[in-house]
Amino acid sequence: MFIHVIRRGDTIQLLSREYNVPISKIIRDNALVDVNHLVVGQSLIIKPNNFIYTVRPGDNLYEIANHYKISVQDILDANPQITNQANLSIGDEIRIVYDNPDKVAMEINGFVYPTISVEVLRQTLPHLTYISIFSYIVRNDGTLVDIDDDRIIREAYRYNVVPLMTVTNISSETSGEFSTDLIHQILVNPALRNGLIENILKKMQDKDYLGVVIDFEYLNPEDRELYNQLLIDAKDRYDDFGFVLMTAVAPKIKADQKGLLYEAHDYEAHGKYTDRVIIMTYEWGYLFGPAMPVAPINEVEKVLSYAVTAIPADKILMGVPNYGYDFNIPFVEGTSAQLISNNEAIEIVIDKNVQIQFNTKAQSPYFTYVENNQKHEVHFEDARSITAKVNLAIQYGLKGFSYWTLNEYFPQNWLIIDYYIDVIKII
């Protein structure tokens, strides 16, 4: 697999010849909608098919390897019958292999909204271990607001994917904002706390879920131990039925990190009392903030370097964003960016006829454009940024990844996952 960054003068025909890959495959793998407008700085995944090469007069391994953009060692690894590199015989058959022989077994979770299309759902499920449906909202009496999730649960089982319910302290179905007071009322009341645990259990049983992700955010710092106790009690209760317990936590870089988002998330307790911990390593660039990458790799690594000291690495699922933001420049307090998909970012680039830049420190693509005298700066994910995240998770020995969200299908992401990762299926 190759990641090719478009240069001035590149065409789909030239790339097809350079990499010996059919035009149709390049288009399909990268979801290209306009092959006549490749953008300078745009990254494409080029994945040639494996094939058999027949040795011709004058051939040597170095020239064969160079021609097909692989190393001599790659050829030797795929062809153990070659015992003398300098003595190839005309007519010998050599396997040219572009697969990764060193895949790492990992788990993949993805959050989805109930509105996900059937087409996107079926394209995505083969790549997942878990699918987390967002979200069951907690009421102030410990009951849950129901959601329309039956269709997704049925499809998950068809693809041997574990369906997980997601429970949140969002204040209402329309606001989308997490409520500090709402979850405080539950945590300080033992009866409500235990009632919530039982309501989650009943919902898992009634809907054929196999586990739950508890995503309580913006908790009072003084509720930290009460939240830990809820996790202890939930783990004890759900273990009796074999249900998975996960939590989603803020991206901390130290145990005593200040701020309403961080203080009540006790990494050590979550690592001890849950089966998996999803670390939300995204939203450095966020909807109501100034322009910057959503998940800059240098900031993500700061989080992981602390996280693995508090949580067993084989319980951590690293958050990966499947989206970007279109920011207004300069930033004005109180204004909002526009949420976009990674595919939409490329559409904007083509429409505005601009080039994509790459922040090497953050390992993240971006571009700028002007519309109606307003400057914009767009940050999103591409093949290079996803590859950097995958390699970082492998480097830290994590259990896997958790995507927010998978309602939009981004084919480059899954080609990268398929190349580096052997996705674990547990049902």
Q: Residue 83: count other Cβ atoms within 10 Å of its Cβ.
A: 8
- From the candidates 217, 301, 377, 381, give the one annotated as an active-site residue: 217
Q: Are 203 and 174 in contact (CB under 8 A)?
A: no
| Degrees, nearest 5: CA angle 205-209-213 | 115
Active site residue 217: yes
One-letter amino acid for residue 224 of the chain? R
Distance CA 99, CA 71 (A): 13
Q: Are 178 and 217 in contact (CB under 8 A)?
A: yes
The catalytic residue positions are 217
